[in-house]
Amino acid sequence: MTTVTLPAVPPPPPDSDDNPDPSPLPLPGRYAVAPGRSLVELTAFYGPFATRRRRVLLTGAALTIPKVQEVQEVQDAQTRPSFRFVLGSPLRATLTSEHVELLDHGRRLRLTGDLELRGVAFPVLLRLRVVERADDRLLVVGTARLPYRLLRRATGFRWPRLCPASRLRLLIAGEFA
């Protein structure tokens, strides 16, 4: 029996929780999603089953990141990072973030904001995963769950009658550059 000795490969360095990425977002500025670089999908669920899925046109999206000095001096709504998504047919709504929370050292973002639909602001929690990040761009994918009955009562939005729904899922993917 022969013995084969394999070279010892050192394990990759462990992720250090003490030294997180200093800037999980791109450099300060205003970023937009280029046409054709986004995906928005609305899915209706009835219990565990998806009853209907439909693409939604993203007519505009913007990410505004303030300068660090401004954030440290004044803590108001205009100095925090903010996202804005303008959705076309069938929703015709605007999703605006009020608060952006960085999670998992910037690999995930949690946005609380309002979905303005037919003149009514409906509260939304959008969870985004940062797929790719550079100094001048950000690629994110995320979902928001919307209770259909509450959304229908508050805004009057109706899904077709032949497709029952108990909740909706809004999927958003976009590359801000």
The pLDDT value given to residue 70: 47
Helix or strand run (H / E) with residue 71: helix 68-73
pLDDT level of residue 152 (50, 70, 90 thresholds): very high
Residue 100 has pLDDT above 60, yes or no: yes
pLDDT level of residue 117 (50, 70, 90 thresholds): very high
The pLDDT value given to residue 3: 63
Place of tokens 């928001």: 144
Q: Which of 44-53, 57-66, 71-80, 119-128 has the lowest mean pLDDT?
A: 71-80
Q: Which of 1-5, 61-65, 86-90, 122-126 has the lowest mean pLDDT?
A: 1-5
Evaluate the CA torsion angle 143, 77, 62, 20 in order and state its sign.
negative
pLDDT tens, residue by residue, 2-48: 666 666 667 666 655 554 455 678 999 999 998 888 999 999 999 99
Strand partners, 124: 113
Question: Given phi > 0 = left and psi -120 to 50 = alpha, else beta, which region is 47?
Answer: left
Residue 75 has pLDDT above 90, yes or no: no
Domain boundaries, the chain: 29-176
Residue 71 has pLDDT above 50, yes or no: no
Find the mean pLDDT for residues 145-161: 91
* Fold that domain 29-176 belongs to in CATH: Lipocalin (2.40.128)
